[in-house]
Amino acid sequence: MPRDSYFGERIIWQGRPEVVKPPAFFKALAAVAFVSATISLSFAAVIAFALAEVPVSPLLFFAWCVILGVLLLVLPRRWAERARYTVTESHVIVKYGPFSRTIERHAISFARIFWNEDHPNTGDLEIVRAVPTGALKRRLRLRLSGLLSPDRVWAIVRGAADLAPTGHGGVRPVGQRLDEGERVMWTARSRFKFRAFLPQAQREWLLISIALFLTAGVVRMTSRLIPTFERLGAGAMPIKSFSFVALSFGVSLALLLMLVMAGYLAYDACIRQGLLAMETRYLVTNKRVLIQRRGEELHLDRAKIIDVIDAPAGAGLRDIFIVLDGPRARAAATSGAFGEMARGPHLRPVFEAVEDAESVSRILRQKQREAA
């Protein structure tokens, strides 16, 4: 087998993206840029026809927005096409041209798999190292995007390529794609609780604040625009004129953009989090902890678990926080290593709102007692 030129280690697997597409965040930014370009073009038309002047500034802004939108769609795609992935005896390496990032295989705490709905059996593999809390807190994540059979690549990374099943990834539930000899010991779904639809973490409160600010801006602008349009229609800019239509279209599109942004932020902070919580399924096998919801999965080796902490979640339900352990991130040390405590947009090593907390806690602690 060939060897990696940097570490000098034997290469176990090499690959590249099978499906390349710009990230959703960049596509959203590109959409905002194109809408802003349309608004600027409308204002340029108003200046040209109503004031009989050359709209230099709006046209320059229009061109800048169009170029920015195109770059947001093209550059991330070109960057992703250059990605090359390598798994050696001890490392996972992601290369983008001359740039590279690595993570030690034995330091990986868990992995997330994001299945591609448009291309079956393809998706992204994100490997995560547990981060210490406190002053030493930092993130170490590698994302292998556009992979063919990302669950198979994860099996290679965790050293279970001979045990993991092949094919049907993303089509069958994660409980039907267990390793050879692996069996389910406990399973449950997250129960409904109204509190899941309320903002909890700092990120969600920030999103709600921005959404309220945008909504208040729309209300204030609308209250002032109506009398302004009435005076314009009765004076220098008749209602049926092209200038009035262009001005109304541009202003309405700007208000609509603000409302859409506010609605999405509120949905992402509250409604989406609550809906995803109800669709989350938890499985504990004799080897791993598996969590699945829609097209996202979390895979965690039970050997990485040092302890579990349960906390009341209301209505007789409990939240189970999984305490992780790893190299230079000892959970027993003062720095701690509790993975991701704050609720975020992706799965984390936490069982939320489960009924049988005592049984799963006993099962997860069993391996630690055997090791002791």
Inside any domain, residue 95: no
Task: Name the domain count of the chain.
Answer: 3
Same domain as 317, residue 183: yes
Residue, of 215 and 51, whose pLDDT is higher? 215
Same domain as 255, residue 228: yes
Q: Is the pLDDT of residue 260 over 70?
A: yes
Q: Quick count: other Cβ atoms within 10 Å of Cβ 366?
A: 13
Same domain as 250, residue 120: no
Same domain as 127, residue 60: no
Q: Is the pLDDT of residue 327 over 70?
A: no
- According to the model, what pLDDT value does residue 288 have? 93
Q: Name every residue whose Cβ is closer than 8 Å to that of residue 303 and which is 6 or more positions away in sequence.
A: 367
Q: Is the pLDDT of residue 211 over 90?
A: yes
Question: Sorting pLDDT into bands at 50, 70 and 90, what band is 335?
Answer: very low
Q: Is the pLDDT of residue 336 over 50?
A: no
Smallest CA-to-CA distance from 182 within 326, 297, 302 is with 302
Q: Is the pLDDT of residue 210 over 90?
A: yes
Inside any domain, residue 86: no
Q: Is the pLDDT of residue 372 over 50?
A: no
Give the C-alpha separation, 327 to 329, whole Å.
5
Inside any domain, residue 88: no
- According to the model, what pLDDT value does residue 306 have? 84
Q: Quick count: other Cβ atoms within 10 Å of Cβ 249?
A: 17
Q: What is the pLDDT of residues 61-79, one digit of tens each?
A: 999 999 999 999 999 999 8
Contact 93, 6 (CB under 8 A): yes
- Map residue 352 onto helix, strand or coil: strand
Same domain as 284, residue 183: yes
Beta-sheet strands, E only, within 89-198 = 91-96, 99-104, 110-115, 122-129, 140-148, 184-189
Inside any domain, residue 5: no
Question: Sorting pLDDT into bands at 50, 70 and 90, what band is 144?
Answer: very high
Last residue of a domain, which of 63, 81, 99? 81
Q: What is the mean pLDDT of residues 122-131?
A: 87
Same domain as 163, residue 290: yes
Give the C-alpha separation, 76 to 16, whole Å.
15
Contact 172, 157 (CB under 8 A): no
Ranked by mean pLDDT, the top range of 30-39, 105-114, 230-239 is 30-39
- According to the model, what pLDDT value does residue 339 have? 46
- According to the model, what pLDDT value does residue 64 have? 95
Question: Sorting pLDDT into bands at 50, 70 and 90, what band is 170?
Answer: low
- According to the model, what pLDDT value does residue 83 have? 92
Inside any domain, residue 19: no
Range scoring the smallest mean pLDDT among 167-181, 240-254, 287-301, 358-372: 358-372
- According to the model, what pLDDT value does residue 17 have? 92
Q: Is the pLDDT of residue 257 over 90?
A: yes
Same domain as 212, residue 311: no
Same domain as 168, residue 143: yes
Q: Is the pLDDT of residue 355 over 90?
A: no
What does residue 112 show for φ and ψ, rounded to 5 degrees?
Answer: -115, 140
Inside any domain, residue 211: yes
Same domain as 321, residue 183: yes
What does residue 214 show for φ and ψ, rounded to 5 degrees?
Answer: -65, -40
Q: Is the pLDDT of residue 215 over 90?
A: yes
Give the C-alpha separation, 23 to 74, whole Å.
11
Give the C-alpha separation, 226 to 252, whole Å.
11
What are 311's strand-pairing partners?
319
Give the C-alpha separation, 38 to 250, whole Å.
8
Q: What is the mean pLDDT of residues 251-265?
A: 93
Same domain as 55, residue 156: no
Order of strands across the sheet with 83-88?
A: 11-15, 83-88, 91-96, 99-104
Same domain as 244, residue 205: yes
Contact 72, 120 (CB under 8 A): no
285: containing domain? 108-190+280-371
- According to the model, what pLDDT value does residue 168 have? 65
Same domain as 367, residue 288: yes
Q: Is the pLDDT of residue 368 over 60?
A: no
Q: What is the mean pLDDT of residues 143-158?
A: 91
Question: Sorting pLDDT into bands at 50, 70 and 90, what band is 338?
Answer: low
Q: What is the mean pLDDT of residues 147-171?
A: 83
Inside any domain, residue 347: yes
Average pLDDT, the chain: 84
Residue, of 92 and 198, whose pLDDT is higher? 92
Considering the entire predicted model, what is its pTM? 0.83
Inside any domain, residue 6: no
Q: Is the pLDDT of residue 262 over 90?
A: yes
Give the C-alpha separation, 339 to 323, whole Å.
7
Q: What is the pLDDT of residues 271-289, one digit of tens each?
A: 887 788 788 899 999 999 9
Q: Quick count: other Cβ atoms within 10 Å of Cβ 212?
A: 13
Last residue of a domain, which of 277, 296, 322? 277
